[in-house]
Structure 1
Amino acid sequence: MMNLRRAALAIAAFLFAFPVLAQTCTFTMTDMNFGFVNLASGSAVDTTATLNVTCTNPLAQGLSVRICPNINAGSGGQSSGIRRMLQGSNILNYQLYQNAGRTTSWGSTTQPALGSPPPIDLLLPILPPLLGTASRTVYGRILASQASAARGIYLSSFAGAQTSFTYTTYTLLAPNCADVTQNPTLVPFNVTAAVEPTCLVSAQPINFGNQGVLSNAVDATGTITLTCTANLAYSIALNGGLTGSPPAARQMVLGGSSILYGLYRDAARSNVWGSTAGQVVTGTGSGASQNVTVYGRVPAQPTPAPGNYTDTVVVTVSY
């Protein structure tokens, strides 16, 4: 009886220790950092992160393991399947993808609106070091047409239950990820982007047209078009042209002859537009295209020889 009792205890201890040798997987995920992004053009911005997987096979059994890397919405949340980074109440829309073409979203079995997780299948080696490894790229994209996003640092954190990588072994047929709930593992990482302040600027020429004798003032207008980061204060200065002349006495030149003209901030042509304090135009970006009118005037003056008179004025936007 004593021997039998000792045998039973030994078997129980052996069975209890057996699961410690089961297959295990570990994961690391790099942060996805878009860095400083310029959204004024309205274009998408891409970057990547890397998922690394290591699975052990201590029993040297010829098994495969299916890994289901479920990635939820993150702390920024999601809207209609589009993930969001946040800066206070400001939102920056982005998405995670399975492929470089960014056509297949990387999602989760628990949040199907985001898409499905891409299964990773590993054949576990039966020879030392008995480790199976895999690496997967996670493709990120800040979606296009977000020029209205305010400047600053945006974040979505994938801590806690925002990720749940599950896995199980199999021999022939891999299970569907919807059925793989074993070994849930939390894999934290962050998605960040810094929207930098910027302005895009273009200018439409001012054409005073064909004129005869300059006995009367001739007026014309041009347009400066800006697209600046939302809530970004800016100022627009105009230099003195090729001759470096004062704002109301700029010169269009042809050879040794010239025509005086001025550029103004108002339709009445009473406020000159130059490059010193009190002569510039100020505004605040909205993320959308903004048009600013430049008012030009050729005052009455002696008429020079016929020809095409021109000048080039540099537009400088400060922010």
Structure 2
Amino acid sequence: MWSTPFAVSPWRLRLMALAGLLVATFVWLGAPSSAQAAASCTASVSSVNLGSTLSPLTAGTVDATANLNFSCTGLGSLLSYSLCPNLDAGSGGSNGAGQRYMTGPGGATVAFQVYQDAARTQPWGSSALLVFGTVPTITASPGTGTTINVNQTVYLRLTTTTTTVPGAYSTSFVGQNFFWGLNLLTCAGVTIGYAVVPATFTFSATLIPDCTISTGNLNFGNVGVLSAAKDAQTGMSVTCTKDTPYAIGLDNGQQGTSATARRMKAAGQYVTYGIYKDEARASPWGTGAGLTTGGSGTGGAQPLTLYGRVPAQTTPSPGTYGDQVIATVTY
């Protein structure tokens, strides 16, 4: 009759001992949580304009830097804390393979990337979106105090091509989760912890319309008596940013009076000539309404031809006659 109570009592003792162990374990794990929860942390990333007068024809690669600040007060002293600042694609989106973009007029995009290193070889990653690579692990200790303040350089790169459409481009990062905690040896795969969300930050750039022009010399060669028309031609190349309308005008030269009455000079004497837009020499090329020629830029070189003609005229004294004509591209 007395055996049953004795059999139960040791089991109860074991349960009580186990319960005490669980309570002790819970208190040990909960202590850091209470200390960290008492901390006050902020994070921010500076917005950056990479340029407001960038030409797609010459910009190529444009580099800049931003600053990431992480600050905490009320921390436990002599402890090491880690920050895992995740960055997603941004509002400019990505190509699904880790290339971020800025977006511009009509949904046009330009390649953009955020990097961890000055050499710009290691993209800034996200633990939740592994396609962007690894997340940098930023570690700091308050020492004997209770405050940490960390500044980290963020490296930016914009990559334009000659076919990039001019306009204002940007990408914004909204609601980024910067996880932090005690002794996170690496941020790889970390999506838990204490989250601090920086205010929205934006990276932007403005690409401007641009054109370049080059032309060869119009050489009529050696001519004797000017009893018949003498023709010559030369090439011109114009390169304008994509979808940029342009018009090219030619002035009247140094002593001419119109597109068909330009004059080459030598020792106070002249040879009259004209420049035309067509091989038949029916459409004079000058300035003003109807005299210019134009098109829309592609980002690549577009060839044009200047057709010159020295009409029959009274032959001046022998000599080397010349003129200078200025070509102007308006866009």
The TM-score normalised by the length of structure 1 is 0.84
Q: Structure 1 residue 150 and structure 2 residue 165: aligned?
A: yes
Q: CA deviation at 1:268?
A: 1.0
CA contact (8 A) 2:273 2:309 kept: yes
1:137 partner amino acid: T
> Kindly tell me: are residues 109 and 264 of structure 1, through their superposed partners in 2, closer, same or farther at Cα, counting changes over 3 Å?
same
Alignment partner of 1:242 is 2:262: no
Taking structure 1 as reference, are residues 254 and 16 closer, same or farther at Cα in structure 2, changes over 3 Å only?
closer
User: Please, which of 182, 195, 211 is the counterpart of residue 169 of structure 1?
Assistant: 182
The root-mean-square deviation of aligned C-alpha atoms, in Å, is: 2.5
List aligned pairs for 1:88-107, cutoff 5 A: 88-107=106-125
Note the residue ranges of structure 2 that are not aligned, 5 or more in a row. 1-26
Instruction: State how far apart, in whole Å, the 2-side matches of 1:148 and 1:246 are.
Output: 36
Give me the identity figure in percent: 38
Give the whole-Å Cα distance in 2 for the aligned partners of 1:143 and 1:85: 10
Superposed displacement of residue 62, structure 1: 0.7
2:190 is aligned to: 180
User: Partner residue of 2:290?
Assistant: 278
TM-score between the two structures when normalised by the length of structure 2: 0.81
**Which residues in structure 2 correspond to 1:69-218 (within 5 Å)?**
69-79=85-95, 80-87=97-104, 88-127=106-145, 130-144=146-160, 146-160=161-175, 163-170=176-183, 175-181=185-191, 182-187=193-198, 188-218=200-230
Residue range with higher mean Cα deviation, 75-84 or 260-269: 75-84
Q: Which residue of 2 aligns with 1:49?
A: 66
Q: Residues 277 and 168 (structure 1 numbering): CA distance in 2 closer, same or farther, change over 3 Å?
A: same
Give the 3 Å change call, closer, same or farther, for CA 98–282 of structure 1 in structure 2.
same
Task: Give ranges in structure 1 of 5+ residues lacking alignment.
Answer: 1-11
Larger radius of gyration: 2
Q: 1:101 Cα deviation (Å)?
A: 3.2
User: 1:285: Cα distance to partner?
Assistant: 1.5
- Cα deviation code 1:235-293 (max 9, x no counterpart): 11111111142111111112212221111111111111111111111211222222222
1:229 deviation in Å? 2.2
- Cα distance in 2, alignment partners of residues 114 and 203 from structure 1: 46
More strand by percentage = 1
Counterpart Cα distance in 1 of 2:230 and 2:164: 42
Deviation at 1:304, TM superposition (A): 3.0
Q: How many residues align?
A: 298
Q: Does 1:18 align with 2:30?
A: no
